[in-house]
Chains A and B, each alone.
Chain A
Amino acid sequence: MSVGGWVMMTLFWALTLGLNLFCLYKLLTVRPSDVD
């Protein structure tokens, strides 16, 4: 795999995992009472 390939794969895997972790963190920490 070329350097460009590594960069793109790492970047988009990180973005996707980051988005998932962000959502999971918020789902676990933000209670319904926090938003009302």
Chain B
Amino acid sequence: MRIRDTWTGRVGIIMAVAGSAVGLGNFLRFPVQAVENGGGAFMIPYLVALLFLAIPLCWVEWAMGRAAGSAGHGSGPGIFNFFAPSRAARWFGALGILIPLLIYLYYIYIESWCLAFAFFALSGDLSKAVEADQVAGFLTSYQGVGSTDWFSNMSVAFIFFLITFAMNFFVVYLGVRRGIELVTKIATPILIALGIFIAYHVITLGAPDPAKPDWSSLRGFGFLWNPDLSALLNAKVWLAAAGQVFFTASVGLGLIITYASYLKKNDDIALSSLSAISINEFLEVIIGASIAIPAAYIFFGPSGAADIAASGGFNLGFVTMPIIFWKMPLSAFLAFFWFFLLFLAGVTSSISMLQPAIAFFEDELGWSRKKSVSVLFAFTFLASQPAIWFLAKGVLDTLDFWAGTFLVVIFAFGEALLFGWFFGAEDGFKEIQRSAAIKVPMIFKYIIKYVTPLYLGVILLVWLYQNGGSLIPSTSSPNFRYEVATLVGMALVFIILIALVEIADRRGAFSARAQKGGSR
């Protein structure tokens, strides 16, 4: 009988889950959201969402994963079936494999840009782009969208994609303990150290231009933190805060349940989950808020920083930040550290996206790790090509809109209902408390049962009201054919997954829980 991998200790899984949660959003999305939604006032709905949405949902996912993992199930279909044995639960649980896989298909490409930009920062090529339009040209020609003296085709971008892709698969091939745990134990502390180092540089900049004494780091922090309390009356601000908290915690993706399935039966989850969240919050509220936006204010002033924030986090990270670094001492190293920081944040997230599928292949289909990784390698390599070659045709955006935004809220809503109502809040709360290293306040039993599903339901309804029309591609869109093809491709992947779930069911994977439990 095959013995499932386990974490060596709680530091390993805390670093892995924190690494999975910390991503580009901590450093790019969060500060932009704060500036656009009332500054310091944004943090009030943010805190509410953290308490009522992220923390309870994380506990739910950790508890679901640990319980089902001890019976030999580490992916959505097996975990959902464990709590509510039925075909509907298994099919719905397949979303816990589909979502991370679809996100991986484009996330890996963006991750490779970070590696490439880190390389070009050190080589000196990036520093030749000194104005915003030049950096933007550097980026778009690198992506193959245009042509410049730097890049005339996508060959360099593809080489960096191949390197990044191979690195990710090498890590997951080594397994949970020797691959993911080892890498995240090294990468996450480096990521924290790099973040502190860059933030320290921004904080200590003062007012570098004597002609503009008002463009100082202190005022830059004020630009982000000065509260506009009237924003609290705006429902959009509360929704934006809930969305930010939801996405930063990496809930609803099927990742935490899979990672938690490699815990031992009596490992703590209450403290480990809270610790992973606290690391993520440190890298968001303190480090994430202290780099990009204050730096943009120092070098571009209040109106410039407002324009940069309005252009979005992605532009801020790849176009504005290099220009800012060129104005600072040790510019090449700072730019390298910045993009390497984003790359590490990306790697620790992307490896977690592969694990649910591997867990499904190993646990439910009985495949070896070599076979699981090989099949997944071949599939993701082929399926990620459209996001690379048809970037300008909206393939990446369609994948992100569906998998990265819509389906995660659906999946999290299903998890909350399953745990709080089908499994039952009473038993669920006991499961969270079992072997806990901290006492979870009793109020969370009611929060998990009533508040969290209601919170998610409201987010889902408002999201559908605001964006529901965009779920169906518009015939007037110039990329209509590409968007439809992407949707058809996503549906095909889901159908294949459902077929595999059925095959696993026929071979008795979902009825042999008790026997598998003996392997722990």
Give the complex CA separation of A36 and B275 in angstroms. Answer: 20
Tell me whether B438 is interfacial, beta carbon within 8 Å.
yes
Judge whether A23 and B274 touch: CB under 8 Å.
yes
Judge whether A27 and B10 touch: CB under 8 Å.
yes
Give the chain B neighbours of A13 by CB distance below 8 A: 285-286
Of residues 24 to 48 in B, which have CB atoms within 8 Å of A's CB atoms? 39-41, 43, 47
Beta-carbon nearest neighbor of B285 in chain A? A16
Of residues 216 to 234 in B, which have CB atoms within 8 Å of A's CB atoms? 218-219, 221-222, 225-227, 229
Q: What is the size, in residues, of chain A's interface with B at 8 Å between Cβ atoms?
A: 26
Of A9, A13, A19, chain B has the most CB atoms within 10 Å of the CB of: A9
Give the chain B neighbours of A16 by CB distance below 8 A: 278, 281-282, 285-286
Tell me whether B145 is interfacial, beta carbon within 8 Å.
no
Tell me whether B474 is interfacial, beta carbon within 8 Å.
no
Judge whether A5 and B286 touch: CB under 8 Å.
no
Judge whether A30 and B41 touch: CB under 8 Å.
no
Give the chain B neighbours of A8 by CB distance below 8 A: 39-41, 43, 225-227
Give the complex CA separation of A30 and B279 in angstroms. Answer: 19
Tell me whether B437 is interfacial, beta carbon within 8 Å.
yes
Tell me whether B86 is interfacial, beta carbon within 8 Å.
no
Give the chain A neighbours of B278 by CB distance below 8 A: 16, 19-20, 22-23
Tell me whether B391 is interfacial, beta carbon within 8 Å.
no
CB distance from A2 to the nearest CB of B (A): 5
Beta-carbon nearest neighbor of B41 in chain A? A8
Give the chain B neighbours of A19 by CB distance below 8 A: 274, 277-278, 281
Give the chain B neighbours of A30 by CB distance below 8 A: 268, 271, 437-438
Judge whether A9 and B225 touch: CB under 8 Å.
yes
Tell me whether B436 is interfacial, beta carbon within 8 Å.
yes
Count of A-B contacts judged by CB separation below 8 Å:
82
Indicate with 1 or 0, residue by residue over A2-15, a CB within 8 angstroms of chain B CB atoms: 10111111011101
Judge whether B266 and A36 touch: CB under 8 Å.
yes
Give the chain B neighbours of A24 by CB distance below 8 A: 275
Tell me whether B435 is interfacial, beta carbon within 8 Å.
yes
Indicate with 1 or 0, residue by residue over B422-464, a CB within 8 angstroms of chain A CB atoms: 0000000000000111100000000000000000000000000
Give the chain A neighbours of B43 by CB distance below 8 A: 8, 11-12
Judge whether A1 and B225 touch: CB under 8 Å.
yes
CB distance from A20 to the nearest CB of B (A): 5
Judge whether B271 and A4 touch: CB under 8 Å.
no
Beta-carbon nearest neighbor of B275 in chain A? A23
Give the chain A neighbours of B39 by CB distance below 8 A: 5, 8
Give the chain A neighbours of B218 by CB distance below 8 A: 1
Of residues 41 to 60 in B, which have CB atoms within 8 Å of A's CB atoms? 41, 43, 47
Give the chain B neighbours of A22 by CB distance below 8 A: 278
CB distance from A31 to the nearest CB of B (A): 9
Judge whether B222 and A1 touch: CB under 8 Å.
yes
Task: Give residues in B with beta carbon < 8 Å to A.
Answer: 10-11, 14, 39-41, 43, 47, 218-219, 221-222, 225-227, 229, 266, 268, 271, 274-275, 277-279, 281-282, 285-286, 435-438
Q: List 20 A-B contacts (CB under 8 A).
A: A1-B218, A1-B221, A4-B227, A6-B225, A8-B39, A8-B225, A16-B282, A17-B286, A19-B277, A19-B278, A20-B278, A22-B278, A23-B274, A27-B10, A27-B275, A27-B437, A30-B271, A35-B435, A36-B266, A36-B435
